[in-house]
A and B are shown apart, each in its own frame.
Chain A
Amino acid sequence: QSVLTQPPSVSAAPGQKVTISCSGGTSNIGTNFVSWYQHLPGTAPKILIRDNSERLSGIPDRFSGSRSGTSATLVITGLQTGDEADYYCGTWDSSLTDVVFGGGTKLTVL
Protein backbone atom coordinates (compact mmCIF):
# COMPACT_ATOMS: atom_id res chain seq x y z
CA GLN A 1 0.00 0.00 0.00
CA SER A 2 1.56 3.29 -1.17
CA VAL A 3 1.69 6.31 1.10
CA LEU A 4 0.53 8.45 -1.82
CA THR A 5 -2.70 7.46 -3.56
CA GLN A 6 -3.17 7.71 -7.31
CA PRO A 7 -5.93 6.40 -9.57
CA PRO A 8 -4.78 3.16 -11.24
CA SER A 9 -5.67 4.35 -14.71
CA VAL A 10 -6.93 7.26 -16.77
CA SER A 11 -7.72 7.52 -20.44
CA ALA A 12 -8.64 10.11 -23.02
CA ALA A 13 -8.55 10.68 -26.75
CA PRO A 14 -5.70 12.38 -28.61
CA GLY A 15 -5.88 16.14 -28.22
CA GLN A 16 -7.89 15.93 -25.02
CA LYS A 17 -6.89 16.67 -21.44
CA VAL A 18 -6.35 14.35 -18.49
CA THR A 19 -5.92 15.00 -14.82
CA ILE A 20 -4.00 12.65 -12.53
CA SER A 21 -4.43 13.12 -8.81
CA CYS A 22 -2.05 12.25 -5.98
CA SER A 23 -3.44 12.24 -2.46
CA GLY A 24 -1.29 12.20 0.65
CA GLY A 25 -1.11 13.73 4.10
CA THR A 26 0.26 16.58 6.12
CA SER A 27 3.67 14.97 6.59
CA ASN A 28 4.30 14.50 2.88
CA ILE A 29 2.40 16.51 0.27
CA GLY A 30 1.14 18.91 2.90
CA THR A 31 4.62 20.14 3.78
CA ASN A 32 7.03 19.00 1.07
CA PHE A 33 7.38 19.63 -2.63
CA VAL A 34 5.93 17.10 -5.07
CA SER A 35 7.55 15.73 -8.21
CA TRP A 36 5.94 13.94 -11.11
CA TYR A 37 7.59 11.25 -13.23
CA GLN A 38 6.75 9.60 -16.54
CA HIS A 39 7.82 5.99 -16.91
CA LEU A 40 7.99 4.10 -20.18
CA PRO A 41 8.76 0.34 -20.12
CA GLY A 42 12.43 -0.46 -20.31
CA THR A 43 13.58 3.04 -19.46
CA ALA A 44 14.38 4.97 -16.31
CA PRO A 45 11.65 7.22 -14.91
CA LYS A 46 11.76 10.72 -16.35
CA ILE A 47 11.01 13.68 -14.15
CA LEU A 48 8.45 16.09 -15.57
CA ILE A 49 7.63 18.38 -12.66
CA ARG A 50 9.49 19.35 -9.49
CA ASP A 51 8.53 21.63 -6.63
CA ASN A 52 4.81 21.02 -7.27
CA SER A 53 4.63 22.98 -10.50
CA GLU A 54 8.08 23.65 -12.03
CA ARG A 55 8.62 21.96 -15.35
CA LEU A 56 12.09 20.55 -15.93
CA SER A 57 14.04 21.81 -18.90
CA GLY A 58 12.72 20.39 -22.16
CA ILE A 59 9.34 19.35 -20.79
CA PRO A 60 6.51 20.72 -22.96
CA ASP A 61 4.08 23.16 -21.38
CA ARG A 62 1.34 20.61 -22.08
CA PHE A 63 2.41 19.16 -18.73
CA SER A 64 1.54 21.15 -15.62
CA GLY A 65 1.44 20.44 -11.91
CA SER A 66 -0.20 21.95 -8.88
CA ARG A 67 -0.69 21.29 -5.19
CA SER A 68 -3.55 22.12 -2.88
CA GLY A 69 -3.41 21.08 0.76
CA THR A 70 -2.48 17.42 0.91
CA SER A 71 -3.18 16.65 -2.75
CA ALA A 72 -1.26 17.25 -5.96
CA THR A 73 -2.39 17.13 -9.54
CA LEU A 74 -0.73 16.55 -12.89
CA VAL A 75 -2.56 17.87 -15.93
CA ILE A 76 -1.66 16.86 -19.46
CA THR A 77 -3.29 18.76 -22.30
CA GLY A 78 -3.21 18.14 -26.04
CA LEU A 79 -2.71 14.42 -25.46
CA GLN A 80 -0.47 12.55 -27.85
CA THR A 81 -0.07 8.82 -28.34
CA GLY A 82 3.50 9.20 -27.13
CA ASP A 83 2.17 10.27 -23.74
CA GLU A 84 1.00 6.72 -23.03
CA ALA A 85 2.99 5.74 -19.97
CA ASP A 86 2.83 5.23 -16.23
CA TYR A 87 2.90 8.40 -14.15
CA TYR A 88 4.09 8.62 -10.57
CA CYS A 89 4.05 11.33 -7.95
CA GLY A 90 6.75 11.46 -5.32
CA THR A 91 7.81 13.52 -2.34
CA TRP A 92 9.57 13.41 1.02
CA ASP A 93 7.66 12.27 4.07
CA SER A 94 8.90 14.13 7.14
CA SER A 95 7.34 11.73 9.63
CA LEU A 96 8.57 8.56 7.96
CA THR A 97 11.91 10.13 6.91
CA ASP A 98 11.32 8.40 3.63
CA VAL A 99 11.03 9.31 -0.04
CA VAL A 100 7.56 8.12 -0.98
CA PHE A 101 5.96 7.49 -4.32
CA GLY A 102 2.41 6.96 -5.47
CA GLY A 103 1.28 3.61 -6.80
CA GLY A 104 1.25 4.96 -10.32
CA THR A 105 -1.37 5.84 -12.91
CA LYS A 106 -1.45 4.21 -16.31
CA LEU A 107 -2.40 6.69 -19.02
CA THR A 108 -4.05 5.31 -22.12
CA VAL A 109 -4.51 7.56 -25.13
CA LEU A 110 -7.44 6.07 -26.95
Chain B
Amino acid sequence: QLQLQESGPGLVKPSETLSLTCTVAGDSMSRSSYYWGWVRQAPGKGPEWIGSVRNIGVTDDIIYYSPSLRSRLTISVDASRNQFSLRLNSVTAADTAVYYCARPSGAYPLIHSFDVWGQGTLVTVSS
Protein backbone atom coordinates (compact mmCIF):
# COMPACT_ATOMS: atom_id res chain seq x y z
CA GLN B 1 0.00 0.00 0.00
CA LEU B 2 1.39 3.36 -1.02
CA GLN B 3 2.13 5.76 1.82
CA LEU B 4 3.59 9.25 1.78
CA GLN B 5 5.05 11.07 4.78
CA GLU B 6 6.11 14.70 4.94
CA SER B 7 8.88 15.84 7.25
CA GLY B 8 10.56 19.12 8.02
CA PRO B 9 10.51 22.12 10.34
CA GLY B 10 7.14 23.42 11.45
CA LEU B 11 8.39 26.96 11.96
CA VAL B 12 10.39 29.05 9.52
CA LYS B 13 11.45 32.67 9.90
CA PRO B 14 10.49 35.27 7.30
CA SER B 15 13.02 35.61 4.45
CA GLU B 16 14.47 32.17 5.20
CA THR B 17 14.10 28.90 3.28
CA LEU B 18 11.35 26.36 3.82
CA SER B 19 12.56 22.79 3.27
CA LEU B 20 10.38 19.70 3.30
CA THR B 21 10.92 16.07 2.36
CA CYS B 22 8.39 13.46 1.37
CA THR B 23 9.29 9.82 2.00
CA VAL B 24 7.56 7.29 -0.22
CA ALA B 25 6.75 3.76 0.94
CA GLY B 26 5.12 1.13 -1.22
CA ASP B 27 6.33 2.31 -4.63
CA SER B 28 9.66 3.14 -6.24
CA MET B 29 10.40 6.66 -7.37
CA SER B 30 13.22 5.49 -9.61
CA ARG B 31 12.25 5.79 -13.27
CA SER B 32 8.71 6.14 -12.02
CA SER B 33 5.62 6.10 -14.17
CA TYR B 34 4.14 8.73 -11.91
CA TYR B 35 4.57 12.39 -11.17
CA TRP B 36 5.04 13.11 -7.47
CA GLY B 37 3.60 16.40 -6.30
CA TRP B 38 3.49 19.02 -3.60
CA VAL B 39 0.25 20.81 -2.70
CA ARG B 40 -0.33 23.32 0.05
CA GLN B 41 -3.42 24.70 1.71
CA ALA B 42 -3.34 27.96 3.61
CA PRO B 43 -5.78 28.44 6.50
CA GLY B 44 -9.27 29.04 5.17
CA LYS B 45 -8.22 28.70 1.54
CA GLY B 46 -8.35 26.12 -1.19
CA PRO B 47 -5.54 23.82 -2.29
CA GLU B 48 -2.65 25.31 -4.23
CA TRP B 49 -0.39 23.18 -6.39
CA ILE B 50 3.29 23.83 -5.79
CA GLY B 51 4.95 21.53 -8.30
CA SER B 52 5.56 17.97 -9.43
CA VAL B 53 8.52 15.81 -10.36
CA ARG B 54 9.14 12.51 -12.15
CA ASN B 55 12.43 10.65 -12.12
CA ILE B 56 13.26 9.25 -15.55
CA GLY B 57 16.90 8.29 -15.07
CA VAL B 58 19.86 8.28 -12.73
CA THR B 59 20.29 12.03 -12.97
CA ASP B 60 17.26 13.00 -15.02
CA ASP B 61 14.04 14.39 -13.63
CA ILE B 62 11.09 16.11 -15.27
CA ILE B 63 9.90 18.93 -13.06
CA TYR B 64 6.91 21.24 -13.31
CA TYR B 65 6.64 24.29 -11.08
CA SER B 66 3.69 26.49 -10.25
CA PRO B 67 4.19 29.69 -12.24
CA SER B 68 3.47 31.78 -9.16
CA LEU B 69 6.19 30.06 -7.09
CA ARG B 70 8.76 29.14 -9.74
CA SER B 71 11.18 31.95 -8.95
CA ARG B 72 11.54 30.81 -5.33
CA LEU B 73 11.12 27.07 -5.67
CA THR B 74 13.29 24.00 -6.13
CA ILE B 75 11.92 20.45 -6.25
CA SER B 76 14.24 17.48 -6.36
CA VAL B 77 14.25 13.70 -6.14
CA ASP B 78 16.55 11.35 -4.27
CA ALA B 79 15.49 8.10 -5.88
CA SER B 80 18.01 6.07 -3.87
CA ARG B 81 16.22 7.10 -0.69
CA ASN B 82 12.76 7.10 -2.29
CA GLN B 83 12.29 10.71 -1.30
CA PHE B 84 11.48 13.99 -2.98
CA SER B 85 11.92 17.43 -1.55
CA LEU B 86 10.96 21.02 -1.92
CA ARG B 87 12.83 24.18 -1.05
CA LEU B 88 11.00 27.49 -1.05
CA ASN B 89 13.18 30.58 -0.63
CA SER B 90 12.42 33.99 0.82
CA VAL B 91 9.29 32.91 2.63
CA THR B 92 6.72 35.30 4.03
CA ALA B 93 3.65 34.88 6.19
CA ALA B 94 1.71 34.17 3.00
CA ASP B 95 3.58 30.85 2.76
CA THR B 96 2.06 29.64 6.02
CA ALA B 97 0.07 26.55 5.11
CA VAL B 98 -0.36 22.83 5.51
CA TYR B 99 2.00 21.25 3.00
CA TYR B 100 1.10 17.90 1.46
CA CYS B 101 2.93 15.55 -0.80
CA ALA B 102 0.66 13.61 -3.12
CA ARG B 103 0.58 11.27 -6.11
CA PRO B 104 -1.89 11.35 -9.00
CA SER B 105 -4.39 8.58 -9.60
CA GLY B 106 -2.77 7.65 -12.89
CA ALA B 107 0.61 7.42 -14.55
CA TYR B 108 2.18 10.21 -16.62
CA PRO B 109 1.28 12.41 -18.33
CA LEU B 110 -1.29 12.84 -15.53
CA ILE B 111 0.00 15.51 -13.18
CA HIS B 112 -3.11 16.18 -11.08
CA SER B 113 -6.08 14.10 -9.83
CA PHE B 114 -4.22 13.31 -6.62
CA ASP B 115 -5.55 10.19 -4.93
CA VAL B 116 -2.77 9.39 -2.45
CA TRP B 117 -1.79 12.09 0.02
CA GLY B 118 0.54 12.41 2.94
CA GLN B 119 -0.98 13.44 6.26
CA GLY B 120 0.26 16.99 5.73
CA THR B 121 2.55 19.14 7.81
CA LEU B 122 1.78 22.63 9.05
CA VAL B 123 4.50 25.14 8.31
CA THR B 124 4.22 28.50 9.99
CA VAL B 125 6.28 31.45 8.82
CA SER B 126 6.88 33.71 11.78
CA SER B 127 9.69 35.42 13.59
Chain A contacts to B: CB under 8 angstroms: 2, 33, 35, 37, 39, 44-45, 47, 50-51, 56, 86, 88, 90-92, 96-104
Inter-chain residue pair count (beta carbon < 8 A): 62
- For A44, what are the chain B residues with a Cβ–Cβ distance below 8 Å? 100, 102, 117-120
Given A44-B117, A97-B67, A98-B67, CB of A91 within 8 Å of CB of B47:
no
A102 vs B118: C-alpha distance when bound (angstroms) = 21
- For B45, what are the chain A residues with a Cβ–Cβ distance below 8 Å? 104
With both chains docked as a complex, state the minimum distance between the C-beta of A35 and any C-beta of chain B, in angstroms.
Answer: 4
Asked if A91 and B117 make an inter-chain contact with CB atoms under 8 angstroms apart, the answer reads no
Asked if A101 and B47 make an inter-chain contact with CB atoms under 8 angstroms apart, the answer reads yes
Asked if A92 and B46 make an inter-chain contact with CB atoms under 8 angstroms apart, the answer reads no
Given A88-B46, A90-B47, A103-B46, CB of A35 within 8 Å of CB of B118:
no
Question: Contacting chain A: which of B17-25, B78-86, B87-95, B106-114?
Answer: B106-114
With both chains docked as a complex, state the minimum distance between the C-beta of B47 and any C-beta of chain A, in angstroms.
Answer: 5
With both chains docked as a complex, state the minimum distance between the C-beta of A100 and any C-beta of chain B, in angstroms.
Answer: 8
A77 vs B47: C-alpha distance when bound (angstroms) = 25
A78 vs B39: C-alpha distance when bound (angstroms) = 31
Asked if B105 and A50 make an inter-chain contact with CB atoms under 8 angstroms apart, the answer reads yes
- For A100, what are the chain B residues with a Cβ–Cβ distance below 8 Å? 49
Main secondary structure of the interface of A (DSSP, over half): strand
- From B48, B52, B115, give the contact of A101 (CB < 8 A): B48
A-B contact pairs, 21 of them (CB 8 A): A39-B41, A39-B47, A44-B117, A44-B119, A44-B120, A45-B41, A45-B117, A47-B105, A51-B113, A88-B47, A90-B113, A91-B112, A92-B111, A96-B67, A98-B49, A99-B49, A100-B49, A101-B46, A101-B47, A101-B48, A103-B46
* CB under 8 Å from chain A, chain B span 53-99: 64, 66-68
User: Contacts A44-B102, A44-B117, A92-B111 given; 15 further ones with Cβ under 8 A?
Assistant: A2-B46, A35-B114, A39-B47, A44-B100, A44-B119, A44-B120, A45-B114, A50-B105, A86-B46, A88-B46, A97-B64, A98-B67, A99-B52, A99-B66, A101-B47
- From B64, B100, B111, B115, give the contact of A47 (CB < 8 A): B115
